[in-house]
Amino acid sequence: MSPKVTSMKGLKGCLGLSTAGHDKGTVYLIIDEDDKRVYVADGKLKKAEAPKAKNKKHIQAAGSEAAEKLLRESGGKPKDEEIRKLLKEHRKMSVRTQEDGNV
């Protein structure tokens, strides 16, 4: 699994785990940020065109080269299909890691 990001700046392009709210436990792609909030999308319920605003205190970010590459290659505007594919691959990798006992 990717290393956790400790700084609350520069989160754009990371994957983020919701730690509070009705969506607790959901993994999103952080597509933008400002001083107090990040804007997240999952490509399904929260589309890239209308991302969910999430308080930075309520998100646990993890660095992801694949996520950063997706944002860079899409000019900061990834398609929902690409986001869904990225998150699906992340879930598969997480399950494999847990099954191998490398948690």
Q: Is residue 5 part of a domain?
A: no
pLDDT at 9: 64
Torsions phi, psi for 34 (to 5 deg): -135, -160
pLDDT at 103: 52
Q: Is residue 55 part of a domain?
A: yes
Residues 6+ apart with CB under 8 A from 93: 1
Statement: residue 78 has pLDDT above 90: yes
Contact status, residue 94 vs residue 1, Cβ threshold 8 Å = yes
Q: Is residue 93 part of a domain?
A: yes
CATH number at residue 68: 2.30.30
pLDDT at 21: 93
pLDDT at 91: 87
Q: How far is the C-alpha of 81 from the C-alpha of 86, rounded, in Å?
A: 9
Q: Is residue 68 part of a domain?
A: yes
| Mean of the per-residue pLDDT values of the chain | 86
- The strands making up 27-33's β-sheet, listed across from edge to edge, are 52-55, 37-41, 27-33, 15-18, 59-62
Statement: residue 6 has pLDDT above 80: no
Q: Is residue 53 part of a domain?
A: yes
Q: Count of domains in the chain? A: 1
Q: Is residue 10 part of a domain?
A: no
Q: Is residue 3 part of a domain?
A: no
Q: Is residue 7 part of a domain?
A: no
Tens of pLDDT, residues 35-62: 999 999 999 999 999 999 999 999 998 8
- The pLDDT > 70 percentage for the chain reads 86
Domain ranges, residue 90: 15-99
pLDDT at 86: 93
